[in-house]
Amino acid sequence: MATTQTSHIHGGSIVGQVLAAHGVTCLYNLCGGHISPILQGAKMHGLSVVDVRDEVTAAFAADAASRMTGIPGVCAVTAGPGVTNTVTAVKNAQEAQQPIIVLGGATATVLRGRGSLQDIDQLALMKPITKWSTRCSKVKDLAPTLSRAFEVAMEGIPGPVFIEIPVDVLYPKDIVAEWYVKESGVDKMSGPVGAAARLGMKAYLQHQFHMPHIPLRVPSFDNPLGPSVESQLDKVASAIAGAQKPVLVIGNQAMVNMTPGRADALADAVRRIGIPTFLGGSSRGLLGRHSDIQFRHKRTASLKAADVVIIAGFPFDFRLGYGLKINKKATLVSINLDPEALKKNRKPTIAVETHPGEFLMQLAGRTANIGSPAGGRESWFAELRAREQAREDEIASGANKEGPLVDPIHLFMRIEEKINDDSVLIVDGGDFVATGSYIVRPRGPLRWLDPGVFGTLGVGGGFAVGAASVRPSAEVWLFYGDGSSAYSLAEFDTYVRMGYAPIAVIGTDASWQQIARDQVKILGDDVGTRLLRTDYHKVAEGYGGKGLLLTDPKKIDATLNKAKKLAAAGTPVCINVHLATSDFREGSMSI
């Protein structure tokens, strides 16, 4: 997308103009002298400048914004340690195939490699974890480079882009000229040498600020929605029509680049296809809180019994047992943007290299309701529903409503009844939040945020910032383990300053429990897994939020009601829940 440059006061204003032109409404950042003009430029062009307490939070917030809007999220961080602090979040976005753009500050072009403050080879660091890493060395390069970054981030297999922008490309020309003179000492040089040095400096400034843009050398990524997809649609539709026990599994990739409107269209398409459906990752919530075709439990048993299995945007990785848990005799359809993921670990019967969400929307026109119970699969739906209900009953029977501390199953069953229909649910942790994922149901598309396949802890604060900033009217719930909460609890300061009001629920069991449970069983030692029942609620209050301590199961409803009321009034809340011992997820450690 080409962007027309208007008059500007510095390079930062060009950045702000381009971001606004691409529909970006929030710039996530942690300030630094290298990037100050970007912040001012974003503000000049109507963006909300959301400053956080850790650069990794800024990148996680950009990720969340991308997932919820379908527009690449953007963060700006200062040079050196500012850039390195984003690495985990950028890698997480790469693994989750989320399009984000990271703008990194850098030393002046004339000082690169000379030992200036925070000057490192940032491109070498970021290249392996991004789709494209590049440097803008001239003011004229800013607009076209940024515009191309949006295209690269979204096309083909979506992912992160990194753009390094040196400080002398961002600040006004007269300020840069003053810096050059001061740093070089040319103002103190006399005679022919001084004259030549000043002439050279003038020429370099001319190059920086007035040289025409040179066409970019950037990678090209094709969107593989070609003629072959038409015939594959027919094959998949035919397979569904002839199936007695079809199953559809929808993964994170089906939701990538989905605007809210397109997500609603995808949900409608899946309902029209009408076959039993399991949702994973960001696709959770696609079919609402309840659906006649959606199933949440015993997925492996269903995959082993199915005669047609459609895997849409989900690789055959550890979550699907590397493909080995799918019936070997089933017609297996894999739909994925990544040609490697299409066939890794398990060769499908039909491999479709395209955007899985878009494919399902086209497929719906050819298969509407042929997979439903009315289509002759009453016994198959009955079998799945029996397993589903048995598991629901098993979970409910394990809930302990008595004290002295709070049972996590009982807590989440009460939360499930309390959350608003517009809620956004964020999970950041291990044992506690995984327990919640069995119970709490997102109410609609693009309302569930988890880290994805990388299994990253620490996403919570950034995801909450991103969600609250792009959907300010929503009730935001952040489910933390007590271990993971410490990564980003400081973002309560950000919530207060920015007027965000998420409800953070910390499950405190004084342990890295997902690891400890199996480590003790296997090795007989809990070394490195012990924590304290820390007053996390007081920490949140120290940052200006409201803290609530919950130790009595009889007070769950009252505490949740109070938290909802406070959040509705604009106060961020931290509920520190002291958990009773639970063996609900015994044997769940993943390695």
Is residue 31 domain-shared with residue 102, that is, in the same domain? Answer: yes
pLDDT tens for each residue of 529-563: 999 999 999 999 999 999 999 999 999 999 999 99
327 has a pLDDT exceeding 80: yes
Q: How many CB atoms lie within 10 A of CB 115?
A: 7
Residues of the chain with pLDDT > 70: what percent?
86
Instruction: Please give the pLDDT value at position 74.
Output: 98
In the three-class reduction of DSSP (H, G, I as helix; E, B as strand; rest coil), residue 225 is classed as: coil
With a cut of 90, say whether residue 272 has pLDDT above it: yes
426 and 321 belong to one structural domain:
no
Q: Give residue 6's pLDDT.
A: 44
Q: What is the pLDDT of residue 584?
A: 77
Please report the pLDDT score of residue 582 as a whole number. 82
**Local confidence band at 229 (pLDDT 50, 70, 90 cut-offs):** confident
Which pLDDT score is estimated for 175? 76
Cβ-count burial 207-231 (b if 16+ within 10 Å, e if not): ebbeeeeeeeebeebeebbeeebee
The answer to the question of residue 1 being in a domain is no
Instruction: Give the residue from 334, 368, 389 where a domain finishes.
Output: 389
Residue 484 is assigned to a structural domain of this protein? yes
Same domain, 375 and 404: no
Query: Do residues 288 and 245 both lie within one domain?
Result: yes
Tell whether 5 is covered by a domain: no
Q: Are residue 313 and residue 414 in the same domain, yes or no? A: no
Q: Same structural domain for residues 319 and 378? A: yes
Whether 247 and 199 map to the same domain: the answer is no
pLDDT interval class at 5 (50, 70, 90) = very low
Q: Which range is least confidently modeled, 220-229, 238-247, 273-282, 357-366?
A: 220-229
- Tell me whether residue 6 is in a domain: no
Note whether 426 and 376 are same-domain residues: no
Query: For the domain that residue 375 is a member of, what is the CATH number?
Result: 3.40.50.1220
Residue 267's pLDDT is: 97
* Mean pLDDT, range 91-102, rounded to an integer: 97
Domain count for the chain, please give it: 3
pLDDT-based confidence at 3, cuts 50/70/90?
A: very low
Q: pLDDT tens digits for 200-211?
A: 656 666 666 655
State the alpha helices, DSSP H only, in 472-577: 482-488, 492-498, 513-523, 536-542, 556-568
Residue 510: inside a domain: yes
Residue 544 structural domain: 398-578
The predicted model gives 378-391 an average pLDDT of 96
| 402 & 385 share domain | no
My answer on whether 246 and 344 are in the same domain is yes
Does the pLDDT at position 2 exceed 50? no
The reported pLDDT for the residue numbered 4 is: 42
444-459 mean pLDDT: 94
Is residue 588, in this structure, part of any structural domain at all?
no
d(CA 561, CA 419): 10
Same domain, 68 and 202: yes
Q: What is the mean pLDDT of residues 359-387?
A: 82
Compute the average pLDDT of residues 455-483. Answer: 97
Indicate which CATH number applies to the domain containing 444: 3.40.50.970
Instruction: Please compute the mean of the pLDDT values over residues 55-79 and round it to a whole number.
Output: 97
Task: Of 288, 514, 539, give the one whose Cα is nearest residue 423.
Answer: 288
Q: Is residue 325 assigned to a domain?
A: yes
Say how far residue 550 (Cα) sits from the centre of its chain.
Answer: 30
Torsion-angle region of 555 (φ positive above 0: left; ψ -120 to 50: alpha; else: beta): alpha
Of the residues 146, 176, 210, the one at which a domain ends: 210
Predicted confidence (pLDDT) per residue in 120-153, tens digit: 899 999 999 999 999 998 899 999 999 999 999 9
Q: How confident is the model at residue 212, as a pLDDT? A: 53
**pTM, entire model:** 0.91
The separation between the first and the last C-alpha atoms of the chain, rounded to the nearest angstrom, is 43
Residues 28 and 128 in one domain: yes
Give the pLDDT confidence score for residue 387 in this predicted structure. 96
Chosen domain end from 357, 389, 421: 389
